[in-house]
Structures are given as C-alpha cells and as structure tokens.
Amino acid sequence: MGKAFIFDLDGVIVDTAKYHYLAWKELAEKLGFDFTVEQNELLKGVSRIRSLEILLDIGKVHLEEDTKTKLLTEKNEQYLKYIAKMDQEEILPGIADLLHYLKSSQIPFALGSASKNARLILERLDLINLFDSIVDGNDVSIAKPDPEVFLIAAQKLGVMPEDCIVVEDAQAGIEAANRAGMTSLGIGDKTVLKDSNFVLQDTSKLTIDYISQLMD
C-alpha cells in the first residue's frame, strides 16, 4: 500500500502536549483566567497563532496584535525551557524501534509537524539523524488541516502522495493526510479520529508486524 511514511511529532513520536499545556496554562493565569486540560484538547494539531486565538476566546480577552506577538514569544520561551530537559525516556512506546527498523529496511520516512521546535526536540531525543526529511512549522505557510506540510514531505522524499502513510494523533492532521490523497493512520480514540483509514489506540500497537502488513 505505502512506500513511505510521514510522522507527526506531538502525540506520535513524543508527548510534548503536556509541556504546551503547562506553558499555555501559565499564560492564561497571567491573563487572569484558568485553562483546563479539557480545553487544551481544542489546541491539538493547530498552529500556535490559532492556539492563542482559541485561548483568548476562552478567557474572553481582547488584545492588540503586537501584544499577541509578545505573548506568543513568552509562551514559546517557557515551552522551550521544558523541552530543553527532555531525553530519550520521553519517546513514546515502540517508536524508536520502529524508526530504526524503517531506516535499516531503507523505507523512507519524514517528519511532518506544525511545531517550529521539531528539530530541537528530535535532537534532544537523539532521533534527528534517522529521518530522511524534516518538514516543520518553519517550512509551511498554511497549518493543518491544509495538506501542505505532508505534500512538501512527500516531495522531499521523492514519492507520490498516494504512496505515503501518515501517522497522526489529531483530527486536523488526519484531514490533512486525507486531503493530500495519502493513507491516514490515526493514533488515539477511534471516535475522534473516525475519518482515519486506520486507527490504533496508542503507539505500542504500531509494531513492525503491523507496519509490514500495511505495506503489503
């Protein structure tokens, strides 16, 4: 079915969502309102600018554009402090083995992430040299669910979109993969990721045997 893989970062390779949440929560508290774990689900898979807009809507806070820019910088600096302490222990179950298997089998794979810190995170996890290509928030102009990030990744890998399997944990990412004409493999709740071609409960189910069957 597929000749190449494209992986999202957050929720697929590592869970940095908790650090994003803590940084957003600190920002919300600074602005005078609470930000819950449940509300944080609304930020999954969307750009940082859109995330800030959602946060401000929740708190019913209206700010000038230059203030928004400053807040985005503050939030990112706080987030970077958290991820600077990351190590390989934070790689999600089964992922390191899977990436090494794909590499040794010469099956091309790329990262397709909205994160502008993707390269830094992969360096912290000692995974960066495994990827054939990395496309992150610095390379794209339109956020998921637009398929741009995945189409660029396919182009960099030298494969057609229909030959790509995208591994994603967010509905916006699944929609982007489907719009790109790729096979979508969701990690998480099948009721949330109902538009995925395939869904696995968590990364521990993303075994080498499963991947081999997908490619048959």
CB 59 within 8 Å of CB 31: yes
Edge-to-edge strand list for the sheet holding 198-200:
133-135, 109-112, 4-7, 164-168, 183-187, 198-200
Q: Is 189 annotated as catalytic? A: no
CB 197 within 8 Å of CB 179: no
Q: At a CB cut-off of 8 Å and minimum separation 6, what does 119 contact?
A: 128, 134, 136
CB 99 within 8 Å of CB 130: yes
Q: Is 216 annotated as catalytic? A: no
- The residue annotated as part of the active site, out of 8, 132, 136, 169, is 8
DSSP lists the bridge partners of residue 156 as none
Sign, CA dihedral 100-163-90-188, equals negative
Catalytic positions: 8, 10
